[in-house]
Every structure is written in C-alpha cells, then in structure tokens.
Structure 1
Amino acid sequence: MEDSTSGTRIPKACLTCAKAKVRCEPEVGGVDGICKRCHRLNKPCGFQTPGAHRRKTAPSLQSSEVSALEAKLDRMVALLAASDRSKDLSNASLSPGPAPSAPCSEDMHVPSEQEGQRFISIFINKMLPLFPFVPIPSQMTADQLRREKPFLYRNIVMVASQDAQRHRQSAQSIMQHVAEHIVLRGEHNIDLLQGLLVHIAWYITISRLPRPSLDASSENDFGAKPFRKISSQLDVLLHLATAQLSSLNLNQSVASLRNLNRPLSYMKAVDLHPNQIPERTLEERRAYLGCYYVSVILSLCVREVDTPRFSRYTDECCEALQEALEYPTDAFLVHLVKIMRLGQKIHYTVSANEMTYPVTLDPFLGMTIKSYQAELQELRSAYAPDHPGSEMILYRVALGINPASACADLPVTQLDLLFNLLEANKTFFLNFYSIPSSLLPILPFTVYCQFGVSMMTLSRLILYEGERVGWDPDYTRRTVDFDSTADVILQKLDEARAFLSSDVAERPEIFHRLVTRMQVMKDLHRKRLEAQAKANLEAPQEPLDFSFIFNLPTDAFFPYGDYATASALPEAPNYY
C-alpha cells in the first residue's frame, strides 16, 4: 500500500511478523489492531515505520564505469610518462618489460648495430665451436636477432664482450629480466631457454662483482679464514633452464605427448589436440641436449645436481641432428653428448664413491672397466678430437682402490688404471695447451670445470703412494709436472692480454681469478708434498688423509669472493 500524498510505501505487516517473515493477518473485531498471530502467541504487535521496505540504492552503472575509465586513463598517463623517461635514457629497448630501477642497466648501454654485429661474429666464430648448442645463422644480422630473440641477443652481447664493466651491467639487467619475466610472470619460450643456456655456459668467465681490494687484515695464516661458498646462482639458472624445458614440453618426445590421456595445460590454452602437436625442430632438440650436457658436466665436475638420465628421446635428438647436420658444429655437439652419456654411466657404476670409500678391485669391476674402455675407443674412432674427460672419470677409480683387495687373473690391474689415468691427464693438458691464448678469457665453464678436475687429479697422482702395486710417484712428476702445468696456463693467460680490444676499459675478472687460482693450487700442492715428506720421515703413523682438499668443488678454485692468496684457503687439518 502506498501513501497518496508522499508516495511512500506503507508496510502492511507488523514488526513481529515482518521479522519472522510470515504472513500478517489482522484480527477481525480484535482490540488495538493486534494481528491474529501476535494475539495467538501473546506477542507485542506494532506497526512498521513507513518506508522501511525501501532498499538502499546501489551506485549507478554509469558512475562506476566513469570511475573505471578515469582510473584507466590515469594508468595510461603514468605508463606514457615512464616510457618517455626510458627513451631519454636509451635509444632502443632490447626486451619488453619496465625499465630496471638500477642506474646501470643493459638498456643504458645498448651496442650500436656495428658493435652488435661484431659481438655476434665473435660468438659464432670463436665461442660457438666450444659450446655448439645455440647456433646462430651466419647471415643473421644483429638487428634481426635483437628483434626476434631479444633475451638471447642480450646474453650473447654480454659473453662476447671482454669488458668487465659491461659484464657487470649486463648481468644485473639480465637477472632482473629473469626475475620479472620467468619467476614472476612465468613466461616460457625458446628465446628465454637459449639465453639461459648461453648465460650458464659462460658463467665463470663473466665479471659479476667488483674486483676486491685486499688490505693487510686479509693476510692471515693458512687456514685462518673459513671457506666461504659462493652463491648458488649457477644452480638456480640451471633449474630455471630445466623448468623452461618442462614448461615447453621439450624434455619429452612428441610421440609420448600424443599418447597422453589428457591434454597438457598449454594445449588447453591454445585449443590444441594432442595429435596436432608439431614435430620437434632442430633448434628445440639442441636446446634440450644443451641442458642435458651442462647438467652432467656440473654433476661430474662440481657437485651433484638433478641430472636427466640419457633416454630414448635423447638418442632420438642426437640421431635427428646427426642426420640433418644443419650446422658444421652439429657433429661435434652429438659427440659431446655421447661422451657425457658415457661419463654419466661410468660415474654411477664405477667411480661414484671412489673419493670417499675404498674400492675393491674384483673381476666384476675389471670387466666393467674393460667394457667402458671399448666404448671409449669406439667414440674416439667415430670422432677425431680426443676428449679425455670420460677417461679420467673411468680411471680415477684407481686412486680409491684398496691395494689389498687385488686378486689374481683380473682383466685389469691397479697399475694399469693408474698409468691410463696419467696418460688421460697428460692428453687433456696437451689439448688445453693447444687452445689459442686469445680464447682463454672466453672459454665456457664446461672446459674450466674439466680443467679444475684435471689439476686436482694430477695432484692426487703425484701424492699417491702406490709402492705396493709398483707405482712410482717420481715417474708421474717427470711425465706431467704440477707447477710447470700451472705456469704454462699463466703464460698463456699473459699472452691473452695482448688480444684484448684497445677500447676495453677494465679487463675481465677471469684474468685476476685464474692467476689467483693457479697460485692457490700450487701452494696447496706444495704444502701437501711437504706434509707427506714430513710424515714419511717421522715414526710410522696412520696414513694421512688428503682427500678433503680434492673433494672440494670446483667453486673453491674459481669463486667470486676475495681469495687473493693461499691465506684464503679452507681450514685444513693440522698435519704439519
């Protein structure tokens, strides 16, 4: 009912019935207008205030739309203002996303077209043959690569440059890009995957921190400063690259994806049926094999990481590349992957624990080693260049064999294994010496990891006391001298300084780092020799355990901390 004068709706139900949401009927002939329900239940019955049923009016649709448009306009104005500011700092942008807040970013140091082309030429001619998993077509220009694959381009510019200042600025900007686009936004594409692979491959040779200034307070006695591990950023980058593989489903064959009972998430997003999944491109296969290769290298030479096992799909990728040979480096790529496959097999079946537990040389171990020797010979005959990395992994087991465990009629003897290990070590250093000095500052971390393992293995061979099995440590010193080997590397590094471009403002940190590491290694080896000689002259005692220094990860020899002298070495047992 509505009031004719004011237009206000007058409620019919009493307060009690309205609250109970029941029908309110007036009592016919009753007193004081009490309704039937209130009279029956003996409840108070009162009238509602006129207008009580009026609903609160929501803001009009037009006003809310106007507010949303005004807010959107404000955001667009802010973005345009930010874009104008970034254009003042840089003439071009290498990748999408907001400009980094840090004052020194890659966008502030975009190379010119001519300079970018020079960096790509360095990468193709000098760096790609050592890590052939991200080839660039020779006819591709710098501008074309920058537009098609901006993240890969930025990483190539960083690793091909020999200026430490550019290294630091580029690394900071690239890591900001990784954090925003991969970690926060969850983006995944082949450009990000290839850029991560390039970044990982030359992680060691990139200057990331300012060169430390050491004072007298840092000069302490040997072992006084505790060993400080470097950042695990390399592991993080490797995990991100593996995650890119998984997100792009490049770690599985197309046949296995088509056999899935349910479509993958990315198939739903693009409305793609499993049967419509395209075949793998050679570029995608190389990226997958590159992740496999660096994972195995890191696991065998530095520390244990989650490493994908060699599968039928891995073999399928190798066969596809070997058949196509799209680039001249594809044959070497397949050879590297097969070598790492064999090294992985050897590690898990023969030498996984040789650094920690004594190994028993029995007929089974002897036959296993002979089998792997045959595989190594087959790989060597299939591809000319020697690659003794897997040989050292295979023969390194000799250093952990308990001499008392040898028995008669074995396929191999401990002396044979020690001799083969020395020859493999010697071959590695001869190959390393053959690398032009100009390439030393831009070698990938995969080469330096194997170099560190070879140096530690050589030191163990020289220190190994194997008179019981007929091993002569003096023969080892005459074959490959430790100090002379380190001095050759230092000489080649000194020669490499002459090949630096004249416009380089600051030499890469690798020059300072390698010199420091070589001196650290020489001091360590000398102290071990002195301790061993002193122990042999004194009364018989328990054999000295030198394994702690050889079990150190390669990070101990190529860190990014303030290690300048042997005073920064890890704390050692007081043997002397």
Structure 2
Amino acid sequence: MPESDRVKTCENCVRAKIRCAHTPDSLSCDRCRRLKKECYFRPSRPRGHHKKRTTRIEALEDKIDQIMEQINPRPDRIYPTPKSNDGSDYSNRVCDVIGKGLVSNELANILLDNYREAMQYFPFVMLPGRMTVKELRTEKPFILLCIFVITSFRDTTLQQALEDVLKSYIGDVILHSPHDNHPNALETFQGLLIVLSGSRQLYQLCRFSSYIHIALSIMNDARMDRPPKYRVATRIDIEGESDQTGSASIPGSVSIADESRALIGCFLLNSTHAIIMQKTCTLPWSPFIESCAATLSAKCEYPTDRYMIYYVQLQHMLERMNLLTTKSIEGHPDVELQLQSFRAEVEEYKNQLPIPPTCDLLIATQYQTLELQLCQISLLDNKHTSTPGDGFVLVSRIDTLCHGLAAAKRFVDFYFTLPPTIEKSYSILNWLQTGFIVAAACKLVIVSLDSSLRYNVQVEELREALELPKVLQFYVQRLHEVAKTCKDGEFAHYQNWLLAASVWFEKTYRAASMEVSSNAGAELSVEGLDFFGF
C-alpha cells in the first residue's frame, strides 16, 4: 500500500499510545520490527471533493452571518399580517427594557412604587394596588416603559436610554404599523399621558406639543371623546360591515372607567397648556367629559376619583374666562362688567364646594390660577377706555388688585404647609399652574407700585403681607433641595427659571420704585418675564 494511501501510525502503536517511527520505504515500523510483530497500517479516508469543501465553507459563512444578525439586528418595518401574533411580540420586545438589561428587576419594583406615590398628583392613569411589574411587563408593556421613563429622573443617563427606547417605539410601532395591526389604543393613550405628565426637563417640555397631538390623534381614532353608543361605523362602510372601534376599545366596565380618567387627563393637559401658554386648545370642555367626571366621582373607585368633577368644572371656568382675554386686549367697553360678574360666579362656586380648595393639590392650584387669571385679564390685558381719573375704574382696579394679592398670599400660605421635596412628584399640571401663580404674583406686586395704587392702605398692607422677595428666595432654596436628590440635576430647568424670575422681579421692583418717586404719572411695565421657555 503506498504511503499516501495509509495512516501514519500502525495499529500496534495506536493501542500502545506511542509514537510510530518508520522509514519511508519500509512496510513495518521500527517498534514492530524490533518486537517481531505484524505491522498493519489502516488505509486513510478518501479526501472530499473541492465542491464539498466549498459547500462547507459556504455553510460556515452562512452561520457567521446568522450570528452577526442576532448581535446587530437590522431595523425592520415590515410587520407581520394581523392574523399572527408576531406584531404584538415585536412591540413587546421593543418595550422590554428589563429583558434588554437597562432596568433590573429590583430597580423596576422601586420605580413602580415611585409611580404609585405620584399617581395622586396625576390620578388619570391608575394602577390596581395588586398589579406587579411582571404583570405589567406581560399585559401593558408600553405603560410600564412610560412609568420607567418618568420615574428614572434621578439618573439622567438611564432616563435618556429609556427615552431612546420610547422614541423607537413611537416611530416604529405607533406611527408606522399597519392600520389593522396598531397596538392597543387605550394602553398607548394612557402611556403617552404618563410621559406628558412627567415632563420636567427642557427637552421634554419642547416635545410636549408633539406628544400631546399624537395622544389626541389616538383618542380621535378610537373615538374616546364620545359615548360608546355613538362610536358608529364610518360613512364609507359598505355591505353591512361594521366598525368595531368603539366596542373593541372597551371590553368591560374597568376599561370604561380607565378611558374616562384618561380622557379627563388629556383634557386637563391640553386645556391648561393652551390657556397658560396662550395656544389653541384642541380638546375643549364638552358635556360628555363632564358626565364622565360625574360618573367617576359618584362611583369613587379610587380616593382621587371624588375630585374628578371639580377638576373638570374648574377647568371649564378657566376656559370660559380665557375667552375674555381677546375682548380685554381689544378694549371692549363691557369687559370690566363681565369680569366682575365672573368673579362673583367664582366666589359662589367656592362657597358651594363641599370640600375646601386646599384638600387637593391640583384643585388648590387650579382655583388660585382661576383667581389670578381674572386679575391678570382685568389689570394687565384690559385696555381701559376711561380716563385715568375715572373714579369707577380706579375703585375697580383697587378691588381687583386686592383680590389678586390676597389670592397669591393664600397660595403662599398653602404652599408653605406642603411636605419638603414634594415637587419630585409634581405633574406638568402642577408645574404649569404653580409657575403661572408665581409669575402673576410678581406682576401684581409691580402693578401695585403704580402711583394711583401704591399708597392705598389696603393695597399696601396686602403687598407687605405677601413678602414676595422672601417667598421667591424660599422657593429657590426649596427647588435647590429637590435638585440635590437627583444625580444629574433633573429640576435645574425650573430652578433656573425661578432664579431668572427672582432677578427680573428685584430689578423691576427697584426700577418701579424709583420711577414712581420721580414721575407720579408713569405707567409701569410688566413685560419681560418669559414662562418656562416653552
């Protein structure tokens, strides 16, 4: 047997597990010749063809490609057909930040507990007390992701990573999924409300309008802003086809209550933002919204449900009063009488409330916003057509100013009773309304320095009792203590705005004092105080 056709070690050496040495031309190895044993070499295996070797190389290359695709998956927006469950599996994988290793199970439980504490300040997406992270991860993964986004503010690096996942989900799943394979409308709607309520940093405030319009579009598509019986088929349906939007979105009474809370929350977010930032409200008050609030308050499934009707009624009054802003700016002669009538209506509503306005933080800030908005329209927006010496106008301005300064003082007294660092749980509603109250109080104090008002005994007493410079310093220090509890200065934006407001007030106050002493007829300006940088 030629040497090329046999193995290099004989069978005897293989069994002995020793090296087999032999000369090239010998038929027996050195050891077998010395021991006089029969030496036998097994024939070697036939070599494979070049084509087979190529096939094996190609198989290995394919395997490597598969491994690389698992490590670096390609973004894929071709979604499966609605008949399969792959679409929901895909969206769940996008939201699963626990599976991706961004959030540990221990941290997830902590963040969920933090959200439960914050629910009382934005009670429009409620979670049952028995619901766990595991259940949310399986049943409502998008809501869980949104909870993580707003409660991870103590670690900005983690929050930014979670924000990236959120943006990916909104872009890939919410905006680009086929019509028949959209994620659950109510869950998506609730999740966006959670994210909007927790807007704190400047970049979050800047995206507020975009996110709330996405939420409003989901609400409109699901027809959540109308009673279920009116969620009828579209006008272009044919052959007796029925639109299942209404019935599919509310499988049970729990979903009806959840829908109602979410609708009220969206109404308050949209309306408050529009009124304070002077933008167009795309979801104004409606009888259906108030009926939802009345039903929730009557059933009172959660303790905060009892306040729903008051949230809606106070916001409706704010919307009605905001309509007077245009009239006041244009100088309509009957605006002052309308404002006085409205002030009497607000006072009557307060007296009829079965609960004090300070029983709930949101009601307290809503009510004080309502009172100070009245004063701002009357004193700052209204272009008086009467002469400066008109006694009726002067008495009316003094009365309005005293109401405003007293309202600001009541809010300050209430705010001083709140627990330290409560601002960590504030929703955007609390921030917007509190910021407006601070800005309005600053402007009212400046207006009180007008020569026609400055030496009025009641105005002077209320201005001194308010002690606004000290209040602003206290507020700045309070936010500084809150910011220290966060790793990367989550509340720095509000703190910086408040510092700017304090500097503006001190500068304007000094200038107004000097201006009044040098020119008794000068008209004071309250321009220049921008609000939150929206």
- Using the size of structure 1 for normalisation, the TM-score is 0.66
Distance apart, 1:191 and its partner CA: 1.3
Distance 2:282 2:245 in 1: 33
SS at match of 1:96: helix
Distance 1:307 1:419 in 2: 34
> Corresponding residue for 1:398?
378
Distance 2:304 2:133 in 1: 21
Q: Which runs of 5+ in 2 are unaligned?
A: 1-61, 74-87
> Corresponding residue for 1:199?
195
> Partner letter of residue 112 of structure 2?
I
Contact 1:106 1:170 in 2 (8 A): no
Distance 1:378 1:77 in 2: 75
Contact 1:258 1:277 in 2 (8 A): no
Q: 1:151 to 1:124 in 2, by over 3 A?
A: same
> Corresponding residue for 2:415?
432
> Corresponding residue for 1:150?
141
Distance apart, 1:154 and its partner CA: 0.8
SS at match of 1:404: coil
Distance apart, 1:408 and its partner CA: 8.1
> Corresponding residue for 1:415?
398
> Partner letter of residue 468 of structure 1?
S
Residue in structure 2 matching 1:468, options 452, 459, 477: 452
Q: 1:130 to 1:272 in 2, by over 3 A?
A: closer
> Corresponding residue for 2:165?
173
Distance 2:476 2:372 in 1: 23
Q: 1:168 to 1:416 in 2, by over 3 A?
A: same
Q: 1:508 to 1:346 in 2, by over 3 A?
A: same
Distance apart, 1:281 and its partner CA: 0.9
Residue in structure 2 matching 1:112, options 104, 109, 133: 104
> Corresponding residue for 2:349?
375
SS at match of 2:281: coil
> Corresponding residue for 2:512?
532
Structure having the higher helix fraction is 2
SS at match of 1:323: helix
* Alignment pair present for 1:488 and 2:474: yes
Q: Quick one: higher RCO (CA 8 Å, sep 6+), 1 or 2?
A: 1
Residue in structure 2 matching 1:549, options 525, 528, 532: 528
Distance 1:123 1:252 in 2: 29
> Corresponding residue for 1:300?
275
Deviation sequence 1:32-74 (CA, Å, 0-9, x none): xxxxxxxxxxxxxxxxxxxxxxxxxxxxxxxxxxxxxxxxxxx
Contact 1:190 1:284 in 2 (8 A): yes
Contact 2:198 2:428 in 1 (8 A): yes
Distance 2:494 2:260 in 1: 34
SS at match of 2:528: helix
Q: 1:81 to 1:328 in 2, by over 3 A?
A: farther
> Partner letter of residue 472 of structure 2?
A
- Using the size of structure 2 for normalisation, the TM-score is 0.71
Distance 1:165 1:208 in 2: 14
SS at match of 2:349: helix
* Alignment pair present for 1:131 and 2:119: no
Distance 2:299 2:64 in 1: 52
> Partner letter of residue 310 of structure 1?
W
Contact 2:476 2:495 in 1 (8 A): yes
- RMSD across aligned positions (CA): 3.9
SS at match of 2:421: helix
- Structure 1 segment 189-268 matched on structure 2, within 5 A: 189-204=185-200, 206=201, 231=206, 233-258=207-232, 268=242
* Alignment pair present for 1:516 and 2:496: yes
Q: 1:106 to 1:345 in 2, by over 3 A?
A: farther
Distance apart, 1:394 and its partner CA: 2.5
Deviation sequence 1:539-574 (CA, Å, 0-9, x none): 67763433x324x3x233xx6xxxxxxxxxxxxxxx
Distance 1:482 1:271 in 2: 53
Distance apart, 1:129 and its partner CA: 0.6
Deviation sequence 1:331-370 (CA, Å, 0-9, x none): 133322222122112211x345657858766544433332
Deviation sequence 1:502-560 (CA, Å, 0-9, x none): xx7x23421x22332222111111221233234335567763433x324x3x233xx6x
Q: Which runs of 5+ in 1 are unaligned?
A: 1-74, 87-93, 210-229, 560-576
State, as a whole percentage, how many aligned pairs show the same letter.
14
> Corresponding residue for 1:388?
368
Distance 1:399 1:322 in 2: 36
> Partner letter of residue 141 of structure 1?
T
Deviation sequence 1:246-283 (CA, Å, 0-9, x none): 1111011123334976669xx74659999x99876101
Deviation sequence 1:168-222 (CA, Å, 0-9, x none): 2212221221122222226351111111001101112x5759xxxxxxxxxxxxx
> Corresponding residue for 2:34?
none
Q: 1:431 to 1:95 in 2, by over 3 A?
A: farther
SS at match of 1:521: helix
Distance 2:237 2:404 in 1: 50
